[in-house]
Amino acid sequence: MSPHQLLIVGSGDVAVALESISVALGWDPVIVTSYDDVTSRLPGTESIVVLSHDEDVDGPALAAALRSEASYIGAMGSRRTQARRRDWLLDNGVSGELADSIRGPAGLDIGAVTPAEIAVAIVAEIVAVRRDTVAAGSISDRSGPIHPNAAPGTSECPGENVTR
C-alpha cells in the first residue's frame, strides 16, 4: 500500500510542522505555494490542507480540491477567513453544500496555539476522518476497546519492545 498523500498548500511554520509530523507517520507530504503546483500535485492526493491566506491561491485551490477524490479537505484560518473563502467558492460556481464540506478551521479542538500544536490538531483530524471517527475525543472518555478493529490481544503498544 502506498503512503498517504498529503498536499499542504501554503508556507510557514505550520506547513513545516505538518510536513515533519506527516513524515513521522509514514505519509508522503508535499508543500506547494501556487495554484499551478496545486493542480499538478492534486491527482492521487488523499488529504489537502490549505494554510495560505493568499486570495489568488486559497479559493482556486479549494475549488480544485473539491473536484478531486480527496477524502479530507481542510483550511486553516479564522471564521472570517473561512467565510471569505466560502463566498469566493459560491461566486465561482461551487454549491453551498460542497463548500460546507471543507473542514475549516482545520483541526480538532485541542486548544492548539503553537505551529506544532496546530499541526498535531490538523493531523489528528485527518486521522479521525480517515478512520471514520465522527466525534474524536479523549480515549479515556470512550468505552470499549482502544483498538476496536483488532482482535483481543493482537495489538501491541508502540515501543513495548524497546529497551530502556
Domain that includes residue 72, residue range? 5-137
Give the pTM.
0.83
In a domain, 101, yes or no: yes
25 is a domain residue: yes
By percentage, how much of the chain surpasses pLDDT 90? Answer: 64
pLDDT digits (tens, 9 = 90+) for 61-89: 999 999 999 999 999 988 889 999 999 99
pLDDT in tens, 30-58: 999 999 999 999 999 999 999 988 889 99
Write phi, then psi, for 75 (nearest 5 degrees).
-140, 125
The answer to whether position 49 is within a domain reads yes
152 in any annotated domain: no
The model's pLDDT over 8-18, given as tens digits with 9 standing for 90+, comes to 999 999 999 99
The answer to whether residue 143 sits within a structural domain is no
Q: CATH number, domain at 77?
A: 3.40.50.720
Instruction: Indicate whether 112 belongs to any domain.
Output: yes
Residue 163 lies in a domain: no
Domain count, the chain: 1
Banded pLDDT at 132 (limits 50, 70, 90): confident
Residue 35 lies in a domain: yes
**How many CA atoms lie less than 13 Å away from 73 in the CB half-sphere?**
20
Averaged pLDDT for residues 113-142: 80
| SS3 of residue 99 by DSSP | helix
